[in-house]
Amino acid sequence: MNKKTIIFQTLVFFISTIFSACTSNKNTLEKDVAFRMSDTMIKKCPIETVQKSPVLSEMRLFGKIEPDNNKMAQVYSVLGGNVVSIHVELGDYVHKGEVLAVIKSTEVAEFQKELINAKSDLALAEKNLQVAKELNTSKLNSDRDVHIAEREVENARSELNRIKEVYSIYKLDKGSTFKIVAPMSGFVVQKAINQNELIRPDQTGVLFSIAEINEVWVMAYVNESDISNIKLGYEAEVSTLSFPDEIYHGKIDKIFNTIDPETKAMKVRVRIPNASFKLKPDMNATIVVKNTEKETMVAIPSSAVIFDKNKNWVMVFKDRSNIETRKIEIYRTVGDVSFIQHGLKSGEQIIVKNGLFIYDALND
């Protein structure tokens, strides 16, 4: 083999070696950047920087809607008799002074008789006073007789005023009927009276209950084991079966420090604005009580968590070609926020939505 042949073979080997190395590097590079997020994927898979946040706690309670008893009036019948007519039904809105029912009563006739007698007695006393004054002017009686006559007029007038006050309080009219009227404006939340019903004079039951419900109370029941986790001022979210998509916000403003011997539960109160009047007394309610704890942890949207192989994962974004599938440990999930105990640090970036697409592409 001559010298030129050796040089030629060496040159071919050298070129082949360089070409193989270049091809190997190219394949490796292509393999490293086999997945790369496009602009469209970036838009569909938003990225956020994780940060620490105070840990939230959440407790789910159950309860009922009740009217504010400071804005509620109970209506009784002051006289016995027969119910002639009823002008309202349960759930109706009534104005102050509006007639709720009409009752026919023999007791009204007695009051009428007393009124007629009182008017007659006053008229007679006034006439006697006039006569006494005329006789006194003629020196036919003494000043003492005039004074006695004046006292009789005062007594008769006082009796008449008393009977008129009874008429005013009982809302009595002429005849044998009297009206039960609304003492305040509001909704009829209780009705315990029927037409033609006989009401006894000694009957003490409530006939109507009227309440303003532009603000209602939510009475929640707290189990003994959870009492230590409830405090005044905690935020509360209230929902009902009737309007499951509507969330009402309030705070715990009253804790009733007694335990019901039957339910073994303590009551707490949440005030809720009810301008639309959608919330009705005795509605069942779900109350979610939330509180902010002193401890802080990394908080991420729950939509960022991917559950697979009995573990929780997130997609950590470093750049478009460098996305890491990382296992995390969740401390607690409250609503749409998950607090991370291990696996993420503040300042790292993660895909917070549609991360499952990236996860499948990288882990198939």
DSSP for 198-224, written as a single string: EEPTT----SEEEE--SEEEEEEEEEG
pLDDT value of residue 34: 64
pLDDT score of 26? 43
pLDDT digits (tens, 9 = 90+) for 213-242: 999 999 999 998 889 889 999 999 999 998
- Confidence at residue 24, expressed as pLDDT on a 0 to 100 scale: 45
CA distance 326 to 315: 6
**Interacting residues of 140 by C-beta distance below 8 A, sequence separation 6+:** none
H or E segment at 178?
A: strand 177-181
Helix (H), strand (E) counts: the chain: 5, 20
Average pLDDT over residues 261-270: 91
Token pair of 305 as six digits: 């968590």
Q: How far apart are CA 195 and CA 179, in angstroms?
A: 14
Region 315-334 average pLDDT: 92
The helix/strand/coil state of 140 is coil
Question: Do the bridges between strand 215-223 and strand 248-259 make them parallel or antiparallel, or are there none, so unpaired?
Answer: unpaired
Write the pLDDT tens digit of every residue in 90-139: 989 999 999 999 988 877 778 888 888 999 999 999 998 898 888 888 88
Q: Is the pTM of this model over 0.85?
A: no
Task: Kindly write down the DSSP assignment for every residue of 48-110, as one continuous string.
Answer: EE-EEEEEEEEEEEEEEEEE-GGGEEEE--SS-EEEEEE---TT-EE-TT-EEEEEE-HHHHH
Q: How far is CA 190 from CA 75, 99, 195, 256, in A?
A: 10, 16, 16, 25
Q: How far apart are CA 364 and CA 361, in angstroms?
A: 6
- Torsion angle of alpha carbons 150, 155, 156, 161, nearest 10°? 130
Closest CA to 344 of 53, 1, 29: 53
- Percent over 90 (pLDDT), the chain: 50
Q: Give dist(CA 327, CA 308) in Å, integer.
A: 10
Rounded to whole angstroms, what are the CA distances from 232 to 18, 79, 81, 214, 227? Answer: 77, 45, 49, 23, 12
Domains within the chain, CATH numbers bracketed: 39-55+295-363 (2.40.420.20), 60-69+212-293 (2.40.30.170), 71-103+179-211 (2.40.50.100), 106-175 (1.10.287)
pLDDT in tens, 130-186: 988 888 888 888 888 889 889 999 999 999 999 888 878 777 777 778 888 999 999
| pLDDT for residue 22 is more than 70 | no
